[in-house]
Chains A and B, each alone.
Chain A
Amino acid sequence: MDLSALASCLITPSCVITQTTSGLIIGLLLFLVAAGVSLIFGVLKVVNFAHGAFYMLGAYFAYTAYQLSGNYLIAVLAGGIGVGLFGLVFERLLISRVYGSPVLMQLLVCYGAILILDDLVKIIWGADFLSFGMPSAFQQLPFVFAGGVVPVFYLFLIVVALAIAGLLGLLISKTRYGKIVRAAAVNPSMVSALGINTGVVYASVFVLGGFLAGLAGGLAAPVRSLTAGMGTSIIIESFIVTVIGGMGSVAGALVGSILIGLVRSFGTIGFPLFTEGLMFVLMAVVLVLKPSGLFGKGGA
């Protein structure tokens, strides 16, 4: 533990700026995955443990698209759309068959899918770790604000992720689709009685969740190493975020993600060896004090 280092960081503007943007970038990429987990749980009551594998697929789809096109924008969209479509197949083929089954049975199905996907990735893309390479547009010197350092690429990621968060918020709160989704989360039989096909709603939520995870995979690909099983580390953090923010709440996922990002970026200065433990402590505390999470409604 190094509390004096933490204290001295907190009173230095350059340190605060650098660590805050660092927390934001970690948090916002996490948000794109966690938002999908949270939405799927909120509407379908399914804990999608395979969401980390979605993120992995997004990165690999983007990798191949980038190899073929050399265009980063196309690569990211390929990641998002590819995994969105994959989410549809996944929901129709697997998850739709275990709606209403115990959560542990859903877990088993997701686990089976993860095993298959990780192995398929190894078969298709090889056992080597792959590196995407930084698109030339972003190969620039980082910005410096008041002594704080922010890479151009990260600034881009922050803007894009915030824009996606905003659009997602609008989609859920303002559109007809959003109303249906929210209604389906609360009372699906009523939605169904109104003549809306709940099956289509459920499938669409998986497509949306898959799209977001795929985007996250594609967006992060230039700075992360691609390996089979890369989804594992992100899925556990996504669950922590979902629990802290409140399961089913997109706003909660955003706040939870940024919180985790900040805990990690400042935690590494104050508690370099226990940042992981810190996140689990946070999760346990939230669960005990307010099980439904910071933004969740009602108690357990």
Chain B
Amino acid sequence: MMRSSLLRDSLIAIAVFAVLALLPFVVQGKGFTDFMVRLAAFGIFATSLNLLVGYAGMESFGHGLFFGLGCYSFGLIMQTFPVSIPVAFLATVALSIVVGTVVGAICVRLNEIYFAFVTLAFQMLLHSLIIAWTPITGGDQGLTGGIPRPPFLGIRLDDYYHLYLFSTGLLVASLLAMYHIVQSPFGYTLRMIRDNAARAPFLGINVFRVRLMAYVIAGAFGAIGGMIMSLFVSGAFPDFAYWTISGEAIFMIMLGGITVFLGPMVGAVMLLLLNDFVTKMTSHYGLVLGIVILLFALGLRKGLMDFAADLWRDRQTASGPRPDTAAKAVTSAPARAGE
């Protein structure tokens, strides 16, 4: 059964990729391909964060650690060594797995807000390191001088259409891989730990190991997002390791939804479009974006896809009127945390 669903999903992925590959011939202009490359970077990054937040219940504030690591590692390898892009790519994934294992071993023991803050601390440590280690990282100016892009397998990444294909291909492949992870028995173990971490050990589950694996996997995908970004800007900047980049991924998953697999993708599309549109239309970026965010957050009180999924479920079950969530929330919040 696993195999047949993998086959089916792979076929869907190939079809989606084929459509994406043809799109630039329909939607003219490099504006579109530029957007899609950024979407690939942020889409993978946000979806990988949601592996932690949505499926494992691990609310990380420091996922940007891996985005920054991916950017810098890939950029530095390409600038320093005469290797091909796939080699730098794999080396970066390997490095992020190593870092993820070490940092994760320290972090995943902690729960809730403590996990959030300790991940933030590690991310800011990487940021401090990038800033302080100027001879290697270029300090606050970032990696300058561009990232070399030697052709491989007939792919020339200095061509915008090739970069587009490469990025969207990685996006589709990463989404497929992550989807399979959350649908696998491992994915269901994650959900069980999220819902009841205390019970899991009685079922013979090593909670620490499972959470660590989730952290490492999410980190590796986060680094892939970072690599695409470094190709897009042809460099790497300390901003990519700053807490604000984690913030952006968090906003994407909260806007798009955490209970539906494609929620973060929807959120990434929303936030990027919003950003580009608002920047274009007004110099009062903060005012407009802030109001839109508040309308979403307070109007829906969940991500768009979560809202849609609930709506769908309500229709299906045609249940009675929903309880007044506001009243329930006020009393339940402190009670939950006081446990």
Interface residues of A (CB under 8 A from B): 41, 43-45, 47, 94, 96-105, 107-109, 111-120, 122-123, 184-189, 192, 198-199, 236, 239, 243, 247, 273-274, 276-277, 280-281, 283-284, 287-288, 291-292, 300
Say whether, besides A116-B291, A119-B284, A45 and B333 are in contact (CB < 8 Å).
yes
Cα distance, A15 to B151, chains bound together (Å) = 60
Q: 28 A-B residue contacts at CB 8 Å?
A: A45-B336, A99-B329, A100-B330, A100-B332, A100-B333, A101-B302, A103-B113, A104-B254, A107-B250, A108-B251, A109-B294, A111-B293, A113-B294, A115-B289, A115-B293, A116-B290, A118-B286, A119-B290, A188-B335, A247-B113, A274-B132, A280-B125, A284-B106, A287-B110, A288-B109, A291-B114, A291-B118, A292-B114
Cα distance, A123 to B283, chains bound together (Å) = 11
List residues of B (95-140) whose CB comes within 8 Å of A's CBs: 106, 109-118, 120-122, 124-125, 128-129, 132
* From A108, A120, A189, contact of B250 by CB (8 A): A108
Residues of B within 8 A of A119 (CB): 284-287, 290
Cα distance, A111 to B293, chains bound together (Å) = 8
Q: Which residue of B lies closest to A188 (CB)?
A: B334
Cα distance, A118 to B289, chains bound together (Å) = 12
Q: Which residue of A lies closest to B61 (CB)?
A: A107
A273 touches B132 (CB 8 A): yes
Say whether, besides A109-B297, A112-B294, A119-B284, A104 and B250 are in contact (CB < 8 Å).
yes
Q: For the complex formed, measure the closest distance between the CB of A149 and the CB atoms of chain B, giving whole angstroms.
A: 30
Given A100-B336, A102-B258, A118-B286; 12 other pairs, CB 8 A cutoff? A104-B53, A105-B302, A109-B294, A112-B293, A117-B290, A187-B338, A239-B120, A280-B124, A280-B125, A287-B118, A287-B121, A300-B110
* From B118, B254, B290, B298, contact of A114 by CB (8 A): B290
* From A98, A103, A186, contact of B298 by CB (8 A): A98
- Chain B contact residues: over half helix, strand or loop, or mixed? helix
B333 touches A103 (CB 8 A): no
List residues of B (223-253) whose CB comes within 8 Å of A's CBs: 243, 247, 250-251, 253
- Chain A contact residues: over half helix, strand or loop, or mixed? helix
Say whether, besides A188-B335, A189-B331, A300 and B125 are in contact (CB < 8 Å).
no
Cα distance, A280 to B336, chains bound together (Å) = 29
A300 touches B128 (CB 8 A): no
**B326 at interface by CB-CB < 8 Å:** yes
**B328 at interface by CB-CB < 8 Å:** yes
* From A105, A108, A184, A281, contact of B125 by CB (8 A): A281
* From A112, A192, A236, A287, contact of B331 by CB (8 A): A192
Q: Which residue of A lies closest to B49 (CB)?
A: A104
Cα distance, A196 to B58, chains bound together (Å) = 34
Q: Which residue of A lies closest to B299 (CB)?
A: A97
Residues of A within 8 A of B122 (CB): 280, 284
Please name the 8 residue pairs, one residue from A and one from B, whose CB atoms are nearest each other, closest first. Answer: A100-B329, A115-B290, A119-B286, A100-B333, A112-B293, A116-B290, A277-B128, A115-B286
Q: For the complex formed, measure the closest distance between the CB of A88 and the CB atoms of chain B, giving whole angstroms.
A: 16
A45 touches B287 (CB 8 A): no
Residues of B within 8 A of A101 (CB): 301-302, 329, 333
Q: For the complex formed, measure the closest distance between the CB of B335 and the CB atoms of chain A, giving whole angstroms.
A: 6
Say whether, besides A101-B329, A116-B294, A239 and B289 are in contact (CB < 8 Å).
no
Q: For the complex formed, measure the closest distance between the CB of A53 and the CB atoms of chain B, giving whole angstroms.
A: 11
List residues of B (286-339) whose CB comes within 8 Å of A's CBs: 286-287, 289-294, 297-298, 301-302, 326, 328-338
A99 touches B297 (CB 8 A): no
Residues of A within 8 A of B255 (CB): 108
Cα distance, A44 to B335, chains bound together (Å) = 10
B330 touches A199 (CB 8 A): yes
Say whether, besides A103-B59, A112-B293, A47 and B113 are in contact (CB < 8 Å).
yes
Q: Which residue of B lies closest to A300 (CB)?
A: B114
Q: Which residue of A lies closest to B326 (CB)?
A: A97
Residues of B within 8 A of A274 (CB): 128, 132
Residues of A within 8 A of B284 (CB): 119, 123
Cα distance, A247 to B117, chains bound together (Å) = 11
Cα distance, A186 to B331, chains bound together (Å) = 13
* From A96, A100, A198, A239, contact of B117 by CB (8 A): A239
Residues of B within 8 A of A99 (CB): 329-330, 333-334
Residues of A within 8 A of B294 (CB): 94, 109, 112-113, 116
List residues of B (131-153) whose CB comes within 8 Å of A's CBs: 132
Which of A94, A123, A236, A300 has most chain B Cβ within 10 Å? Answer: A300
B330 touches A96 (CB 8 A): yes
Cα distance, A283 to B115, chains bound together (Å) = 12
Say whether, besides A111-B247, A115-B293, A300 and B112 are in contact (CB < 8 Å).
yes
Residues of A within 8 A of B250 (CB): 104, 107-108
